[in-house]
Structure 1
Amino acid sequence: MKKLRPQLDAQVITPADAGYDATRTVYPGGIDHRPAVVIRPDRAEQVAQVVLLARETGIPLSVRCGGHSTAGHGVCDGGIMLDLAKMRALDIDLSTRTAWVEAGMSTGEYTTATAAHGLATGFGDTATVGIGGLTLGGGVGYLVRKHGLTIDNLMAAEIVTADGQVRQVDAHNHPDLFWAIRGGGGNFGVATRFKFRLHPVQSIVGGMLILPATAEVIQSFVAEAEAAPEELSAIANIMPAPPMPFLPEDQHGRLVVMATMCYAGPPEAGERVLAPFRALATPLVDMLETMPYSGIFPPEDEDFHPLAASHTMFVDTIGHAEAETILDFLRTSTAMMSAAQLRVLGGAMARVSPDATAFPHRESRIMVNLAAIYETADEAGPHEAWIRRFANAMRQRDHGAYVNLLGDEGEDRVRAAYPGRTWDRLRVIKAKYDPTNLFRLNQNIPPAADG
Structure 2
Amino acid sequence: MTLSVEHTTDLVRALRREFDGRVIAPGDSGYDQARAVYAGTVDRRPAAIVRPRDAAQVARVVAVARESGLPLAVRSGGHSNAGHGVCDGGVVVDLRGMKRIDIDVEGRTAWAEAGLTAREYTVAAGAHGLATGFGDTGTVGIGGLTLGGGIGYLVRKHGLTVDDLLAAEIVTAAGEILHVDAEHHPDLFWALRGGGGNFGVVTRFRYRLHELPSVVGGMLVLPATAQTVHGFVAEAEAAPEELSTIADVMPAPPLPFLPEEHHGRLAIMAMMCFAGPEEEGRRVVDRFRALAPPLADLVQPMLYAAIYPAEEDLHPIAEFTNLFLDRVDHDTAATIIHYLRSSTAALPAIQLRVLGGKMARIPVDATAFPHRRSRIMANVAAIYDDPAESSLHRAWVAEFAAAIRQSDRGAYVNFLADEGGERVRAAYPNGAYERLAAVKAVYDPDNLFRLNQNIPPATT
Q: TM-score, normalised by structure 1?
A: 0.98
> Within the alignment, does 1:49 sit opposite 2:60 as a pair?
yes
Q: CA deviation at 1:16?
A: 2.5
> Which residue in the other structure is 1:392 paired with?
402
Q: Distance in 2 between matches of 1:251 and 1:298?
A: 24
- Pick aligned residue for 1:285 from 291, 296, 306: 296
Q: Which residue of 2 is the match for residue 233 of structure 1?
A: 244
Q: 1:447 to 1:10 in 2, by over 3 A?
A: farther
Alignment correspondent of 1:16: 27
Aligned to 2:38: 27
- The structural deviation recorded for 1:15 is 1.1
From 222, 226, 234, the counterpart of 1:215: 226
1:328 shift after superposition: 0.3
- From 171, 174, 196, the equivalent of 1:160 is 171
Matches within 5 A, 1:11-410: 11-302=22-313, 304-410=314-420
The number of residue pairs the alignment matches comes to 449
> Which digits, 9 at most, give the CA deviation of each residue in 1:187-238, with x for residues without a partner?
0000000000000111000101111111111111111100100000001111
Letter paired with 1:149 = L
For 1:280-311, what per-residue CA distance to the aligned partner results, in whole angstroms no more than 9, with x for missing partners? 11111111100001111233111x21011111
Greater Cα offset, 313-322 or 248-257: 248-257
CA distance in 1, matches of 2:381, 2:150: 19
Q: Is the 8 A contact 1:10 1:46 kept in 2?
A: no
Task: Tell me how far 1:53 sits from its aligned partner.
Answer: 1.1
2:428 counterpart residue number: 418
Unaligned 5+ runs, structure 2: 1-11
Instruction: Please tell me the residue identity of whatever aligns with 1:160.
Output: V
Q: Which residue type is aligned with residue 417 of structure 2? A: G
Secondary structure in 1 matching 2:310 = coil
Give the counterpart letter for 1:420 in structure 2.
N
Partner of 2:6: none
What do residues 12-38 of structure 1 show as CA deviations (whole Å, max 9, x unaligned)?
121132111111011110211000011
Distance 2:381 2:419 in 1: 14
SS at match of 2:116: coil
- Which residue identity does 1:268 align to in structure 2? E
Q: Which runs of 4+ in 1 moved over 4 A?
A: none
- In 1, distance between residues paired with 2:16 and 2:353? 47
Structure 2 SS opposite 1:186: coil
Cα distance in 2 between the residues matched to 1:211 and 1:330: 16
Residue 5 of structure 2: aligned partner: none
Q: Is the 8 A contact 2:19 2:52 kept in 1?
A: no
Q: Is the 8 A contact 1:10 1:40 kept in 2?
A: no
Report if aligned partners of 1:10, 1:42 keep a CA contact under 8 Å in 2. Answer: no
Shift of 1:10: 7.4
Normalized against structure 2, the TM-score is what?
0.97
CA contact under 8 A between 1:241 and 1:251: conserved in structure 2? yes
Instruction: Describe the superposition over 1:39-81 as per-residue Cα deviations: whole angstroms up to 9, x where unpaired.
Output: 1100000000111111111111000001101000000000001
2:212 & 2:382 partners in 1: Cα distance?
35
Q: Percent of pairs identical after alignment?
A: 63
- Cα distance per residue 1:383-416 (max 9 Å; x no partner): 0000111000010000000000000000010000
Question: What is the match of residue 9 of structure 2?
Answer: none
Cα distance between partner residues in 1 of 2:231 and 2:33: 45
Offset of residue 5 of structure 1: 1.9
CA distance in 2, matches of 1:35, 1:238: 37
What displacement does 1:9 show?
6.6
Give the letter for the 1:39 counterpart.
Answer: V
Question: Which residue of 2 is the match for residue 446 of structure 1?
Answer: 456
CA contact (8 A) 2:81 2:320 kept: no
| Distance in 1 between residues matched to 2:440 and 2:124, nearest whole Å | 35
Cα RMSD for the two superposed structures: 0.9
- Offset at residue 246 of structure 1 (A): 1.3
